[in-house]
Amino acid sequence: MEIRLCADPIALAQQTATEFFRLAKECVTTQGRFTVALAGGSTPQAAYTLLASAPYRAVMPWEQIFFFWGDERPVPPDHPESNYRMAYEALLSKIPVPSTHIYRIQAEQGAQQAAEDYEKQLRRFFRLAGDEYPRFDLILLGMGPDGHTASLFPGTSAVHETTRLVLAPWIAKLQSFRITLTPPVLCNAAQIIFGVGGAEKAEALQHVLQGTYQPDLYPAQLVKPIRGKLLWLVEKSAARLLLPPLTHLSDDSSLPAE
Ligand code: 6PG
């Protein structure tokens, strides 16, 4: 596991975009495609906007990239809370990615049906046998102030799922269903990148990274790639309780040549 300290939200977005580009080029070169599950929420939006802008837009192998989501809210794709809508507006509407390469969670069908259908789509796309899990080249994740990630929330049974690929748990604190990839899918990724910013997440981040293993309380602790890499990009304000303090500010925002 690597933890990289970012000075501010812009640096966090730059690091995310830099890693996305590096991985996309590597995967397309070595395997002819790049499969990525996008995170929702607000943190990744700036990174998606960067990816849709110069210099990334012109050099990314968009035609070989396949987009998925780590989770979705139970709303239609044009709803302000939709993770799909956020990614569409910040990135997908601005890049030449074939629409057939965008695997949206069709939450408007209702959470349970959407979860079942998404699981079928994953099994078909990744050509999975019965007990296999999909192996995404990259899964982008955020973390909430309560230590949730994707839509794996504290105290929900989804945290203990080992068979299903996609679930639609009832989240009592939100009084809402969510649709989410399950822990085994997250842990089967080749690369996980967490992007965490904001002072309100400092306490949870300290527990997740340095506290005792309590995944029911801090589901983000579940994310331990079995045969993959885990990178935490953490903004200074969120990292302030980590001991020893992180001091090296990562400024490796090496931009690709245009
Ligand atoms: C979602 C995300 C969720 C998010 C965290 C952090 O659907 O909201 O999947 O897991 O990453 O809640 O959200 P922010 O980036 O908005 O702080």
d(CA 205, CA 30): 34
Distance 72 CA to ligand 1 centre (A): 10
Q: What distance in Å separates the CA atoms of residue 145 and residue 199, rounded to the nearest whole number?
A: 9
The residue whose CA has the least distance to atom 10 of ligand 1 is: 150
Neighbours of 51 (CB within 10 A): 22
Mean pLDDT over 26-51 rounds to 98
Name 190's bridge partners. none
Ligand 1: distance of its center to the CA of 77 in Å?
Answer: 17
Kindly report, residue by residue over 130-187, the tens digit of the pLDDT. 899 999 999 999 999 999 999 999 999 999 999 999 999 999 999 999 999 999 999 9
Mutate to test the pocket of ligand 1, among 69, 71, 75, 174 (most ligand atoms within 8 A of CB): 71
Query: Mean of the pLDDT values across residues 27-46?
Result: 98
Q: Would you state the pLDDT for residue 212?
A: 98
pLDDT band at residue 257, thresholds of 50, 70 and 90? low
Residue-wise pLDDT tens digits, 197-206 = 999 999 999 9
Write down the pLDDT at residue 179: 98
Among 86, 148, 166, 177, say which to mutate for ligand 1: greatest number of ligand atoms within 8 Å of CB: 148
Q: How far apart are the two ends of the chain, measured CA to CA in Å?
A: 31
Q: For 77-91, write each residue's pLDDT tens digit.
A: 999 999 999 999 999
45 confidence band (pLDDT: 50, 70, 90)? very high
Report which ligand 1 atom has the smallest distance to the Cα of 142.
Answer: 11
Q: Does the C-beta of 234 come closer than 6 Å to ligand 1? A: no
User: What's the rounded Cα separation, in Å, for the pair 39 and 72?
Assistant: 9
**Ligand 1 centroid from CA 142, angstroms:** 5
Q: What is the pLDDT of residue 250?
A: 75
Give the separation between CA 11 and CA 18, rounded to whole angstroms: 10
Q: Which of 236, 258, 231 is nearest to 248 (CA)?
A: 236
